[in-house]
Structure 1
Amino acid sequence: MLDFAIFAVTLVVVLVVAVLYLYPSSRKASGIPGLNPTDEKDGNLQDIVNKGSLHEFLLSLHQDFGSVASFWFGGRPVVSLGSVDLLRQHINPNRTTDSFETMLKSLLGYRSAIGGDASDAVMRKKMYEKAINSSLEGNFTLVLELVEELVGKWRSLPEDQHTPLCAHMLGLAMKIVSRLTLGQRFRDDTEVIAFRRKHDAIWSEIGKGYLDSSSEKSKKGCTEKAQSEMESVLLSVVRERKAEKKPTAFVDFLLQSSLTERQVLEDCMVFTLAGSVITANLCVWALHFLSASQEVQDKLREELQEVFGSDPVSLDRIPQLRYCQQVLNETVRTSKLTPVAARLQEVEGKVDEHVIPKETLVIYALGVVLQDAQTWSSPYRFDPERFEEESVQKSFCLLGFSGNQTCPELRFAYTVAVVLLGTLVRRLKLHQPKGQITESRSELVSTPKDETWITVSRRDV
Structure 2
Amino acid sequence: MDLTACSCAVYYVVPFVIAIAILWQLLEWETKLKRNRNDGTKVIHGPRPSDPTLGNFPDIELAGGLISYLKRAHAQYGDVVQVWFGDKPVVSTASPGAFTDQVRLFDKPEMSFISPVFGSRSIQFVNGPEARERRRKYDMYLSKDAVHSHFYTFKQIADETTCQLGALEDPDHVTIYDVAFQMACRAVGVALFGEYFSHDDNILTFKALYEQFWPVLEKNFTSGLPEEGTDESEHFYSIVQDVHHIVRSMIEDHVTSGTDRKFIDVVMESNLDQTTVYGDILVYLVGGFHSVSTTLTWCLYHAALYPQMQTRIHGELSHVLGRAHIQPSALPELKYLRWFIDETLRLRYVAPVATRLSGNNTKIQGYHVPEQTQIIHALGVVMNSETYWEHPERFNPERFDTSENSDKAKRSPLAFCPFGFAGRRMCPGKAFFYDEALIFLGTLIRAFEFSLAPETPTNMAITEGLLTRPRDKVVLKIKKRTCE
Question: Normalised by the shorter chain, which TM-score bucket?
Answer: 0.7 to 0.9
1:26–1:359 CA contact under 8 A, matched in 2? no
Residue 374 in 1 paired to residue 387 in 2? Answer: yes
The 5 Å alignment of 1:27-106 reads: 28-29=29-30, 30=33, 31-96=43-108, 104-105=114-115
Residue 309 in 1 paired to residue 319 in 2? Answer: no
Residue 161 in 1 paired to residue 183 in 2? Answer: no
Deviations 1:224-271 (A, max 9, x none): 212112212322432453466653543134345555555432221112
Who is 1:123 aligned against? Answer: 133
Q: CA deviation at 1:159?
A: 8.7
Q: CA deviation at 1:374?
A: 1.3
Q: d(CA) in 2 for partners of 1:111 and 1:234?
A: 17
Q: CA deviation at 1:338?
A: 1.1
Who is 1:189 aligned against? Answer: 200
Residue 450 in 1 paired to residue 450 in 2? Answer: no
Q: CA deviation at 1:52?
A: 2.2
Change (3 A) 1:382 1:115: closer
Deviations 1:197-216 (A, max 9, x none): 22222224445667864557
Who is 1:413 aligned against? Answer: 433
Q: d(CA) in 2 for partners of 1:415 and 1:26?
A: 50
After TM superposition, the score normalised by the length of structure 2 is 0.79
Long gaps (5+) in structure 2:
1-24, 34-42, 402-407
Long gaps (5+) in structure 1:
1-23
Who is 1:320 aligned against? Answer: 333
Who is 1:430 aligned against? Answer: 450
Change (3 A) 1:459 1:112: closer
Give aligned pairs, total: 436
Q: d(CA) in 1 for partners of 2:194 and 2:93?
A: 41
1:93–1:346 CA contact under 8 A, matched in 2? yes
Q: Which secondary structure state, in structure 2, belongs to the residue aligned with residue 362 of structure 1?
A: strand
Q: CA deviation at 1:399?
A: 5.8
AA paired with 1:195? F
Larger Rg computed on CA atoms: 2
The 5 Å alignment of 1:254-293 reads: 254-255=267-268, 262-293=275-306
2:113–2:217 CA contact under 8 A, matched in 1? no
1:426–1:459 CA contact under 8 A, matched in 2? yes
AA paired with 1:28? W
Who is 1:111 aligned against? Answer: 121
After TM superposition, the score normalised by the length of structure 1 is 0.83
Q: CA deviation at 1:40?
A: 2.0
Equivalent of 1:150 in 142, 147, 161 = 161
Residue 140 in 1 paired to residue 151 in 2? Answer: yes
Q: Which secondary structure state, in structure 1, belongs to the residue aligned with residue 164 of structure 2?
A: helix
Change (3 A) 1:263 1:73: closer
Deviations 1:130-174 (A, max 9, x none): 334587545432322222222223334579713212222123222
CA RMSD of aligned residues (A): 3.3
Equivalent of 1:337 in 335, 350, 363 = 350
2:361–2:371 CA contact under 8 A, matched in 1? yes
2:357–2:372 CA contact under 8 A, matched in 1? yes
2:57–2:222 CA contact under 8 A, matched in 1? no
Change (3 A) 1:92 1:70: same
Change (3 A) 1:401 1:108: closer
Q: Percent identity?
A: 23
Who is 1:10 aligned against? Answer: none
Q: d(CA) in 2 for partners of 1:176 and 1:96?
A: 28
Moved more, 235-244 or 29-38: 235-244
AA paired with 1:129? D
